[in-house]
Amino acid sequence: MEITEQVKTIKKNLKILSKLEKEFSVKPNNDNDDPLFYCGVAKSNIINELTPLVEEYFGTAYKPAGETAILKNFFDPFIKAIGGIHKNQTLFKKDIDKDVILYCAFWPWGSDPVRTSIRVGLICLSDDLKEAYTSQLKGYF
> For the residues of 67-93, what is the DSSP string, one character each?
S--HHHHHH-HHHHHTT---TT-EEEE
Domain count, the chain: 1
pTM, entire model: 0.92
Long-range contacts from 45-51, C-beta under 8 angstroms, 24+ separation: 45/114, 47/90, 47/106, 47/116, 49/24, 50/20, 50/24, 50/106, 50/118, 51/90
Amino acid at residue number 39 = C
Looking at per-residue pLDDT, the higher value among 31 and 67 belongs to 67
* pLDDT tens profile 45-68: 999 999 999 999 999 999 999 999
Q: What range does the domain containing 59 cover?
A: 3-137
d(CA 120, CA 74): 22
* pLDDT tens profile 69-124: 888 899 999 999 999 999 999 999 999 998 999 999 999 998 888 999 999 999 99
